[in-house]
Chains A and B, each alone.
Chain A
Amino acid sequence: MALKVSKDIILRDVGADSILVPVGNALKEHNGLFMLTESAKFLWGQLPECDSVQELAQRLFDEYEVTKEQALADTQEFIDKLVEFDIIDKE
């Protein structure tokens, strides 16, 4: 399974906050901004290099002090949200 990020979403930093800004047609579809937590920002940064939720969860586990189960659950939740908002295609 590949995780393909929509090219029309740009990550922006506003102070310590991180937001996803839709551009082009994504703006019509999403009509809003998405705020990312620190770990969500980390996961977003890893997305282009990862082919699966498991691989992404492993990166989260390596970076943060969480159990493998928690890392997998959090990653799955993050991916589910992105799929729900059509920000990534789950192929």
Chain B
Amino acid sequence: MVKYLHDKGAREGIPVSGTFELTQRCNFSCEMCYVHDCKQNIAPLSAEDWLDLAQQAKDAGTVFLLLTGGEPLLRDDFEYIYRSLARMGFLVSINTNGSLLEKYTELFKELPPTRINVSLYGADNSTYSKICGNGAFDKVLNSVKKMKELGISVKFNTMFTPENISDYKKIADISKELLIPIKPTTYVYPPARLGKNNDNRFSPEEAAEYINLIDEYRFDKEFYAERLKRLLALPKGPEENKVRCRAGRASFWITADGIMRPCGMMPEPDAKPLVDGFDKAWNEIKTKTEQIRLPEECLTCKYAGVCSVCAAMCKAETGDFGKTPKYICRMTKRIFELAERSVRGIESK
């Protein structure tokens, strides 16, 4: 049903899902964050602003709503906003660092979110201190266990960087032990929205090597081998260089300062739902997204069917939707080479 509704949304231009970036504030200070910057001080939208936008989104057909930040649970009025959204008939999920979850145990017991996505940054307090400036690992893990006990669906998102890669086995073990799915990534977007570069990320080749190591460790052997075979079969790539994901076609993102974008990773295109109303802003975003063209070169690339390149990556990496992000090319090529090497290794065994 979720896929059906999003496909329908993309076909008919209905904003089936959306993200509200409730605040840019965060109690962590991660270097790789694309939203939070302690030096920036954006006046947050009021709860009434968010609820007004939500009512307009509901009227336009939005069903799935993701609350994110910064750290959304930092808002003093989070409970009021969340309760109102859930009662309006949205399926609400939450992105959080997990450190403040315990405060909302009773709320989530009464009104469980569809899912809580917890960013897991390490496997102990010292890695947390190093990456987040807040040694909150124990607190996060205890809260996650409590949410699981309440029957709430939890997922881990882990962004691996040179600072926490040594924890990858322990993190994968935590995911297995708690039966919580994990989405690991070693690719870190340059924080283009903040106008900054990210000098402290892996090289493209390292990003490929580490994600391969992580996947090899977390998947059972048969599943991992099957995945590699599928990758090496080099499935056909897209036929058009238009935006292919849901962004700006069936989903929208509203930043902490009330700007609508197709996706949170994109610094543009912009629309102003607070000034022009939700419908006009959504129509602008749809039109501008439809005009985006990814690099022509990507259509004829050998790796097109296995490459994860998207409009946001092109823009964040090169400043231009139409320019080839060489970082992604190098990473994908290395992923393919590693798959070839692994399969040869598996076959020779």
Contacts and interface: CB of A to CB of B under 8 A. Distances in A.
Interface of A: 10-15, 17, 19, 21, 23-25, 27-28, 32-33, 35
Given A14-B63, A15-B61, A23-B86, A28 B8 contact: no
Chain B CB count within 10 A is highest, among A14, A19, A23, A24, for A14
Contacts of A25: 110, 112
A32 B1 CA distance: 8
B16 A35 contact: no
Given A19-B63, A24-B112, A14 B5 contact: yes
A12 B86 contact: no
Interface residues of B, number: 22
A21 B9 CA distance: 17
9 A-B pairs with least C-beta separation: A10-B89, A14-B61, A21-B89, A33-B1, A24-B111, A12-B89, A15-B14, A15-B12, A28-B151
B81 to A, nearest CB: 15
B157 interface: no
A72 to B, nearest CB: 29
Contacts of A23: 86-87, 89, 111
Contacts of A15: 8, 12, 14, 61
Interface of B: 1-2, 5, 8-9, 12, 14, 16, 58, 61, 63, 86-91, 110-112, 114, 151
B8 A14 contact: yes
A21 B63 CA distance: 8
A12 B12 contact: no
Contact of B110 (A11, A12, A21, A24): A24
A11 B58 CA distance: 11
B1 A14 contact: no
Contacts of A13: 61
Chain B CB count within 10 A is highest, among A11, A28, A35, for A28
Given A14-B8, A33-B1, A27 B61 contact: no
Given A12-B89, A33-B1, A27 B16 contact: no
A12 B114 CA distance: 17
Given A12-B58, A15-B61, A33-B1, 5 more contacts: A13-B61, A14-B5, A21-B90, A27-B91, A33-B63
Nearest to B91: A21
A14 B16 contact: yes
Contacts of B114: 27
A33 B6 CA distance: 13
A88 to B, nearest CB: 18
12 contacts: A12-B58, A14-B5, A14-B8, A14-B14, A14-B63, A15-B61, A19-B5, A23-B111, A27-B91, A28-B151, A33-B5, A35-B1
